[in-house]
Amino acid sequence: MNPRLFALGLGVAIGYVLGTRAGRERYDQMKTAVTALWEDPRVAKARADVETYAKQQAPIIRERAETAAKDVAAKTSAVASDVAAKSAATAKDVAAKTSATAKVVAAKTSATAKVVASKVADTANDVAAGASKVAADLRERGETVVDSAASSVGAVRDAALAAVESDDDDDPKSTLAG
């Protein structure tokens, strides 16, 4: 029987007995009935028989419990030893595989690093060569622009001087000042 259900039933019974108007009378009636039942010779004999049986069986039950406890301890110890041995073997296996894998990864990483370094060096050389070509092209273009600008400035200066001289020839005041 469920202990919670039993406790609930007991609580309801106690509440009923104590909560009724005739609670004390009903309580006394129940107490008398229970006392009569408890003191009945058949119940007293059954109690004595159960007590005697329990006293006879106690050493046997105790011996069985001790044997079971020893068996459980031995089995637990054996299982623990087996688990420890398997764990140690697995740990060694994992360590060996991890070491081998680490060596492979290190070798592949080293090879990849060398390839990357080579490609970076090639790219840097290509960039430097390209930069040199661009610098030479810009220098050449700059010289061409400077020559062109100098020619243009010279032409504009010559034109401006020619215009000033022609203005001086046409202006009578400038001849008097000169």
DSSP state string for 97-130: HHHHHHHHHHHHHHHHHHHHHHHHHHHHHHHHHH
Dihedral in degrees, nearest 10, Cα atoms 148, 151, 155, 157? 110
Q: Which tens digit of pLDDT belongs to each residue from 110-157?
A: 888 888 888 888 888 888 888 888 887 777 777 777 777 777 777 777
Angstrom distances, CA of residue 100 to CA of 90, 92, 105, 110:
15, 12, 9, 15
Q: Which tens digit of pLDDT belongs to each residue from 40-71?
A: 898 888 888 888 888 888 888 888 888 888 88
User: What percentage of the chain has pLDDT greater than the value 70?
Assistant: 89
In sequence order, which residues have a C-beta less than 8 Å from that of residue 30 and are 6 or more positions away? Answer: 17
| Contact of 4 with 13, CB cutoff 8 Å | no
DSSP state, residue 20: S
149 backbone dihedrals φ, ψ, rounded to 5°: -65, -40
Rounded Cα–Cα distance for residues 115 and 130 (Å): 22
The ranges assigned to domains in the chain are 40-136
User: Which one-letter amino acid corresponds to residue 80?
Assistant: A
Residue 16 has pLDDT above 80, yes or no: no
Q: In the block, which residue shows the tokens 């100098």?
A: 150
Dihedral in degrees, nearest 10, Cα atoms 70, 72, 78, 80? -120
